């Protein structure tokens, strides 16, 4: 797998001259930061370094084997590993209840998802941070019925899993979409504005100042804070 700084430009991986290399090889473990980025070529990439731009295509990486300080492993190439990271207040843990089910990933440029070849088994646990109905869940309609088909996003990954295949430790608020491609937000506190590479634009938006249009949720690496 090559390391990229843009969709067409490759870059070496590593922070020092002795550690730099132009390729990652099968079996190597690499740390990624935040969710994926969609480049101009429509393909998805994970950030693997900083503060320089260093990205690897999501398609070239296998299942998540650990998050933060927690790790787990699984020898089956068909089965993803458990997502064992800490659970935040707007997150929950789900347990797979069906004998075998597949994970889903987003279709580039669209809200909908498609099935992957990543299969999980009964008893596997994941931390999820979002529950959606409507377009992404494939229902084609909105609604607030808790029994309607919905889909969970697995925290820190590019994967989703349907609610009828899992048992959740607690109910998350359902986000409903029907052909939605934008949202309007206001700030509940002053916020700083960043570039995609995590550098500040030296602009601050005031609390409740204006209504802003947002198109997506992304994670960026902020070097001065040393976190995503």
Within-domain flag for 29: no
Three-state SS at 163: helix
**Confidence (pLDDT) at 154:** 92
Within-domain flag for 76: yes
Within-domain flag for 106: yes
Within-domain flag for 191: no
- As for how many domains the chain has, the answer is 1
Within-domain flag for 27: no
**Confidence (pLDDT) at 36:** 67
Residue 118: how many CB atoms within 10 A of its CB? 20
Chain-centre distance of CA 212, in angstroms?
A: 23
Within-domain flag for 124: yes
CA distances from 36 to 127, 174, 210 (A): 17, 22, 28
d(CA 136, CA 146): 16
Q: Domain limits at 109?
A: 66-177
CB 65 within 8 A of CB 73: yes
d(CA 96, CA 121): 7
**Confidence (pLDDT) at 78:** 42
Radius of gyration of the chain (CA): 19
Say which residue, 136 or 101, is predicted with more confidence: 101
**Confidence (pLDDT) at 69:** 35
> Above pLDDT 90, what percent of the chain?
14
The arithmetic mean of pLDDT across residues 4-33, rounded, is: 80
Q: What is the biggest distance separating any 2 CA atoms in the chain, rounded to whole angstroms?
A: 57
| pLDDT over 60 (residue 38) | yes
In this structure, of 42-46, 97-101, 202-206, the range with the lowest mean pLDDT score is: 42-46
The pairing of strands 125-134 and 174-177 is parallel
Within-domain flag for 132: yes
Within-domain flag for 166: yes
CA distances from 150 to 130, 202, 212 (A): 10, 40, 27
């Amino acid at each position: 797998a090559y390391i990229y700084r843009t969709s067409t430009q490759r870059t070496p991986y590593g922070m020092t001259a002795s550690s730099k290399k132009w390729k990652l090889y099968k079996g190597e473990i690499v740390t990624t930061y935040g969710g994926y980025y969609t480049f101009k070529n429509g393909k998805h990439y994970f950030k693997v370094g900083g503060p320089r731009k260093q990205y690897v295509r999501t398609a070239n990486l296998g299942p998540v084997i650990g998050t933060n300080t927690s790790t787990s492993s699984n020898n089956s190439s068909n089965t993803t590993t458990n997502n064992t990271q800490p659970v935040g207040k707007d997150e929950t843990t789900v347990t797979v209840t069906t004998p075998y089910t597949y994970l889903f990933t987003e279709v580039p440029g669209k809200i909908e998802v498609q099935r992957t070849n990543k299969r999980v088994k009964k008893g596997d646990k994941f931390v999820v941070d979002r529950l959606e109905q409507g377009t992404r869940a494939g229902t084609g309609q909105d609604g607030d019925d808790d029994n309607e088909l919905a889909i969970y996003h697995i925290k820190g990954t590019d994967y989703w899993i349907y609610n009828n295949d899992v048992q959740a430790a607690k109910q998350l608020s359902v986000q409903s979409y029907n052909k939605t491609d934008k949202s309007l937000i206001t700030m509940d506190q002053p916020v700083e504005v960043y570039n995609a590479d995590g550098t500040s634009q030296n602009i601050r938006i005031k609390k409740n100042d204006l209504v802003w249009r947002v198109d997506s949720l992304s994670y960026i690496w902020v070097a001065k804070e040393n976190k995503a």
